[in-house]
Amino acid sequence: MQKAIASYEYNLASIRAGQANASVLSRVTVEYYGTPTNISDLANIRVADSKTLTISPYDASIVKAIEKAILASDIGITPTNDGKIIRLIFPQLTEERRKELRKQVLKEGEDAKVAIRNIRRDAMDLAKKLKKDGELTEDDLKSAEKSIQDLTDKYIKNVDAVTAKKEKEIMEI
């Protein structure tokens, strides 16, 4: 369940909320000598101000490749290139775009909840199998089911809290 939360938070980090954030580039890879490589491994990524990210490649020959990779990605920002540094300028979010991002956050949250519920189902099935095999008593089974449900509820609340925080971030900017 912790992995489901971590995966959810990772997915949320790549959703840009109108402010410059280097994590939007976490999924963008560049072909570097025939190997897909993360931009963060090939360049220094800095937040210049609240609306601008600067990417300074360690090797000047890959500036064009990084620019192409960013254009091909789904981050929705057009890079500007001065030959040595690439700048990503984050535009102000429109009300329509805010609603789209909010829907995306809610969908990611629901996916995380489904993953947690699937883990709960697997744990419940395992407990029932152990009861059937005679390794658990009826009281132990009830106790295990209650513990599993309590843990599930805790993680669902955690997902709700992370979702609310990201929604607030999107709607305020």
CATH superfamily of 95-172: Ribosome-recycling factor (1.10.132.20)
pTM of the model: 0.68
Specify the pLDDT at position 143. Answer: 93
Q: Which helix (H) or strand (E) holds 47?
A: strand 43-49
Domain ranges of the chain: 19-89, 95-172
At 89-140, the pLDDT tens digits run 887 777 887 888 889 889 999 999 999 999 999 999 999 999 999 888 999 9
**19-89 and 95-172 share one CATH topology?**
no
Cβ atoms within 10 A of the Cβ of 67, count?
A: 18
Give CATH for domain 19-89.
Answer: 3.30.1360.40
